Amino acid sequence: MGKRVALEGNEAVAEAMRQINPDVVAAYPITPSTEIVQNFAQFVSDGQVDTNFVAVESEHSAMSACLAAAVAGGRVMNATSANGLALMWEILYIVSSMRQPVILTVVNRALSGNINIHCDHSDSMGARDTGWVQIFAEDVQEAYDNLLQAVAIGESMDVRLPVMSCLDGFLLSHSYELLEVESDEAVREWVGPYKPLNPMLDISDPKTFGPLDLYDYYFEHKRSQLDAYPPAKEAIIAEGKRFGEAFGREYGLLEEFMTEDADFVMVALGSTCGAIRDVVQGLRDNGVKAGLLKVRAFRPFPAEEIAAALQGASAVAVLDRSASYGAHAGPLYAEVTSALYSYGKQVPTNNYIYGLGGREILPDDLEQAFGDLQKVAESGQPAEPVSFLGLRE
């Protein structure tokens, strides 16, 4: 049985890392994920883990060291935010191309400039095409649970992909909440020992990693990488179910809250889903058929499942906590509407960009968006494809 304790989001993530006891952590701390690395370094120093902790001089080096340790045959973890993730860019692609299941906690924070330490999703969204699995947490319990599952998903033998376990900066990383922390034994049994695949340090069976790969084979290799993502989707579902069987909290690609008969559905990522639940409940109490579709896995993107979940809706709002500069709308909106189009569902869909740089999202803002949807459903047309919540104009 787990223990119900109060922890800050960063403390909960560090606790999960302690329980997982990875072979290598190479990290360069950055706000608001600093305490993850700080607390974990303390565990190393106190002998509570067997991890080889590599202190490096930048995030580029951190991810390079993680890649090398993973290729050598170790279970590898790391944590970062915003500009730290941006500095890892080049190596993120190489980790996924080399199919190394490195686990990275991303505490979501706005990218510079201007300089801002608070939450938005521009860092993770910028990394959405790097080939990493991306899972978003709604609360501290999920941040803890997701990290354990990230290990199992990434290490599945037919997946072998790196995973970003994302949680909202400050809103979750510095939020003090009650959660179930499972016992060390139960976690270690659930996660299991690391099973290396083609480890470089197996010198009886030499292999080549990261060679020159020009127009004769690069395309085929990239094509074979694409084959990893449908199994990753299956692994997210299977491990979410296995987690539920072990600990009583089941997870999937999406979470539907009152969507079954909903006319108006809001689609969102991360901690804002909490406030949306309250607003949906309030609208339901007043006879409005509102619902929430929480996207837990953004990569691989559950396009078919989202289209199915929105099948009965008469109007949809997609909330984006980042902007896609030069695009016609925010990234989540673009993918959700593309999914609807691909799977033959036509429904008026509004895009709301909110919360950049930590701007608060209030229940009033969410109610206003649901109000828009009622008007949109009557007219059959989105009033404005993109609008903003909580912005002074």
Task: Pick the piece of the chain touching another protein (CB under 8 A) from 17-25, 59-67, 272-280, 325-333.
Answer: 272-280
Q: Cα 41 to the chain's mean position, in Å?
A: 24
| Nearest approach, Cβ of residue 191 and another protein (Å) | 26
| Nearest approach, Cβ of residue 288 and another protein (Å) | 15
- The angle that helices 9-20 and 34-45 make with each other, rounded to 10 degrees, is 40
Residue in 48, 53, 60, 177 binding another protein, rule: CB under 8 A:
177
To which residue do tokens 């969204």 refer? 125
Q: Cα 38 to the chain's mean position, in Å?
A: 22
In the complex with another protein, the residue whose CB is nearer, 178 or 197, is 178
377 near another protein, rule: CB under 8 A = no
| Nearest approach, Cβ of residue 353 and another protein (Å) | 17
Residue in 178, 197, 327, 391 binding another protein, rule: CB under 8 A:
178
Q: Which residues pair with 55 in a beta bridge?
A: 27
193: CB partners within 8 A, 6+ apart: none
| Nearest approach, Cβ of residue 221 and another protein (Å) | 43
Please answer whether residues 333 and 340 qualify as being in contact, where contact means their C-beta atoms are separated by less than 8 angstroms: no
Q: Which residues pair with 52 in a beta bridge?
A: 24
41 near another protein, rule: CB under 8 A = no
Using CA atoms, how far apart are residues 133 and 163, in angstroms rounded to an integer? 5
281 near another protein, rule: CB under 8 A = yes
| Nearest approach, Cβ of residue 284 and another protein (Å) | 12
277 near another protein, rule: CB under 8 A = yes
Residue in 6, 327, 383, 391 binding another protein, rule: CB under 8 A:
6
In the complex with another protein, the residue whose CB is nearer, 44 or 362, is 362
**Structure-token pair, residue 145:** 């649970």
In the complex with another protein, the residue whose CB is nearer, 168 or 335, is 168
Q: Cα 234 to the chain's mean position, in Å?
A: 16
196 near another protein, rule: CB under 8 A = no
* DSSP symbol at 357: G
209 near another protein, rule: CB under 8 A = no
| Nearest approach, Cβ of residue 177 and another protein (Å) | 6
Using CA atoms, how far apart are residues 319 and 330, in angstroms rounded to an integer? 8
DSSP of 38-91, one letter per residue?
A: HHHHHHHHTTSS--EEEE-SSHHHHHHHHHHHHHHT--EEEEE-HHHHHHTHHH
249 near another protein, rule: CB under 8 A = no
The site map against another protein for 329-368 (x = CB under 8 A) is -------------------------------xxxx-----
User: How would you classify the pairing of strands 349-354 and 386-389?
Assistant: parallel
282 near another protein, rule: CB under 8 A = yes
Restricting to residues 101-140, which ones interact with another protein according to CB under 8 A?
A: 117, 139
171 near another protein, rule: CB under 8 A = yes
238 near another protein, rule: CB under 8 A = no
In the complex with another protein, the residue whose CB is nearer, 177 or 250, is 177
| Nearest approach, Cβ of residue 287 and another protein (Å) | 17
Single-letter residue type at 78: N
**Structure-token pair, residue 304:** 């078919």
Query: Could you give the angle at the alpha carbon of 171 between the alpha carbons of 330 and 179, nearest 5°?
Result: 120
Q: Which residues pair with 105 in a beta bridge?
A: 79, 165
Residue in 130, 175, 337, 350 binding another protein, rule: CB under 8 A:
175
**Structure-token pair, residue 122:** 């521009």
In the complex with another protein, the residue whose CB is nearer, 4 or 223, is 4
Using CA atoms, how far apart are residues 87 and 391, in angstroms rounded to an integer? 29
Binding site for another protein (CB under 8 A): 6, 8, 117, 139, 170-171, 174-178, 271-272, 274-275, 277-278, 281-282, 360-363
